[in-house]
Chain A
Amino acid sequence: MVSDSAASLATLRALVLAAGYMANTAASASAALAHVQAQEPDLVLLDLRSPELDSCELTRRLRLLHEDHLLQVIVVGATHDDEQVIHALRSGADDYLARPLSATLLAAKLHHSAGRQRLQSRLARLAQRQLDIIDNIADAVITLDVNGHVEDMNAMAHALFDTRPTSHHALPWSGGDCLSLLGLPLAELLSRRECQLRRADGSWLSVDISCQEWRELSGMFYTLVLRDLTEKRANEQRQNEFLATVSHELRTPLTSVLGSLGLLAGGAAGRLPAAAMQLAAVAQRNGKRLSRLIDDLLDITKIRSDQFVQHQREQAVGPLLQEALLASQAYAGSLGVQLEAEGVEAHGGTELRLDADRFLQVMANLLSNAIKHSPAGEVVKLRLAVTSAVLRVSVIDRGPGIEPAFRSQLFNQFSKNEAGDLGGQPSSGLGLYISRLLVERMGGQIDADPVAEPPSHGASFTVTLPLAFQPTMNRSAA
């Protein structure tokens, strides 16, 4: 309570205490300010009748003392005069009480004020909790407005990008826009998933960007989460080195084993008896299988790594399919299986963005599977179909088909259908899995279906790829 009249103070104090609140008094503006500064009261009752006090000025200065703390000010006026009430409220007071003071009205106002205070501190606690959570995120979180101006950023963003020597994260960052903070304009940031950003110390940082756009009354905002990729890159580097070493260490002894067997079986050390030849052939076949398995495992690791690079370019699918058929011709011939193309002439001119080597790898795998499972004298069909959105390549065989129970795991690792593995090339059980990984990397999908056409046996493997997005006519004209 602030008043320069001791009598007024005493009356007010008695009423407040009677209502069940704690009360302190101040007889001057400076005493009031000092008290509010030290004690942070929730409410100030300010006597308008004090000629020594400029109540408007005092209200303004009281409010400045604690920015975060809600201080309510109720002025106590001489009469219930509208003019005075309006003036007090315009000067920043929250409420007005007229004399003569009613004990019950004062108690009601104090009660109401206490309720507001509780709500306010709950909001403040929630806001603080959110700030703490955001600040404890290990990624940089930066919010920008539509013009790229920085609205706020968390502690990690300050640590990484804020060039000011002593920055306090609780304060909003008013240093400018994302161009000055990160070295990139807004449009660039929004269009990228990964990029290099300039750090506060001048070095460059690889980051993964995820962006959330949201709306508030004042407009649109973008919250960017920037994840430091340094560690990830280092891991990838280590993984690559490990792979290279493993590859070398596994293949070196295998080279000796297969080399010795090759020379033995080839008669370089003298002609072998028939039974020994048979054993050498078994050892050789399985050595080659082991070798293929190592190749496939390394290939999978490569494809699955984030650094997997596809050498994609726009090209017609026809020539690639012809090449795939030609490459499988010898194997098909050795098993008495015929290869047939359907729709390749008609739709072969269809262009799409592809890594030719990897596409051929998928086709070779599907064709060799189909050939392996086909009885001699049967036909393996390669069918090309094109719709407005996708291209479908199917490899259809007349083999025993796929057991329904096995279908769901067909494209998983080591999902070899032992029952269907009838001699031929030993497989690692990874071919379809690798094909699936590759097709998915190309943005497509691979499916296996039983053949519906009579006679109803056989399997059909279909690769579906999205057709290249045709931009605008302008581009082809230009």
Chain B
Amino acid sequence: MKKLTRVMCVEDDPDIRLLIEMSLAIVGQLDVLCCASGSQALASVTAFAPELVLLDVMMPGLSGPETLCALRQLPAMQGVPVVFMTAKAMPAEVEQLLLHGATGLIVKPFDPMTLARDLQPFWEHGRGSS
């Protein structure tokens, strides 16, 4: 079975950004591009061509859902699964995010040793539906 290889992560908190990068690159052996903001992600997403985007919900500037909307405008990004990361995870919020077109949700605190594995089903699900 084909495995997920290229992930873009958008996270404003530098510590968590580093953790995600190490978790995905070192533990998960993935190609990772980490962006500090939604606009930075939009600027580099086409060149990087990720297979999945991991997106923080609460960010200054463009929020997670706003970034998702903007990403979906790009032709190359229409079928790419987008997984949100949130520390709030109120049921109403989860529902709202899925309505916005998110593929799935990872709850913070996450397990860095399994993060890459946890993303795999979302990627498969995303590929299956596109």
Contact = CB atoms under 8 A, between A and B. Distances in A.
Contact of B58 (A248, A266, A287): A248
A255 B27 contact: no
Interface in A215-253: 244, 247-248, 250-252
A252 B112 contact: no
Which among A251, A255, A266, A287 has the greatest number of chain B C-beta atoms within 10 A?
Answer: A255
A138 interface: no
18 contacts: A247-B89, A248-B58, A251-B88, A252-B16, A254-B108, A255-B87, A255-B110, A256-B13, A257-B109, A259-B16, A259-B109, A262-B111, A263-B19, A263-B26, A263-B113, A266-B112, A268-B26, A291-B109
**7 nearest A-B residue pairs (beta carbon):** A251-B87, A259-B19, A256-B15, A255-B109, A266-B113, A255-B108, A262-B112
What DSSP secondary structure best describes chain B's contact surface?
loop
Interface in B4-27: 13, 15-16, 19-20, 22-23, 26-27
A36 interface: no
A453 B113 CA distance: 46
Contacts of A244: 88, 90, 93
A268 B108 contact: no
Contacts, number: 65
Interface residues of A, number: 20
Contacts of B23: 259, 263, 268
Given A258-B109, A259-B109, A268-B112, A252 B87 contact: yes
Contacts of A256: 13, 15-16, 19
Contact of A259 (B26, B90, B93, B110): B110
Contact of A252 (B13, B20, B113): B13
Contacts of B93: 244
A268 B27 contact: yes
Contacts of A250: 87
A260 interface: yes
A269 B27 CA distance: 10
Interface in B90-130: 90, 93, 108-113
Nearest to A287: B109
Contacts of A252: 13, 16, 87, 108
B88 A255 contact: no
A101 B26 CA distance: 121
B88 A259 contact: no
A248 B88 contact: yes
A470 to B, nearest CB: 31
B64 to A, nearest CB: 12
Contacts of B90: 244, 247
A172 B113 CA distance: 74
A285 B44 CA distance: 38
Contact of A268 (B13, B22, B58, B88): B22
Contacts of B89: 247
Contacts of A260: 15, 19
A386 B111 CA distance: 42
Interface string A252-288: 1011111110110010110000000000000000010
Find the residue from B15, B20, B27, B87 having the highest chain A CB count within 10 A. Answer: B87
A387 B21 CA distance: 58
A263 B109 contact: no
Nearest to B86: A248
B68 to A, nearest CB: 18
A382 B89 CA distance: 32
Contacts of A257: 109
Contacts of A268: 22-23, 26-27, 112-113
A471 B15 CA distance: 59
Residue in B26, B27, B88, B110 whose Cβ sees the most chain A Cβ within 10 Å:
B88
A258 B114 CA distance: 13
Nearest to B12: A252
Contacts of A263: 19, 22-23, 26-27, 112-113
B30 to A, nearest CB: 13
Nearest to B17: A256
A268 B111 CA distance: 13
Contact of B108 (A251, A262, A266, A269): A251
Given A247-B88, A268-B26, 10 more contacts: A247-B87, A247-B89, A248-B87, A252-B87, A256-B13, A259-B112, A263-B112, A266-B27, A287-B109, A291-B109
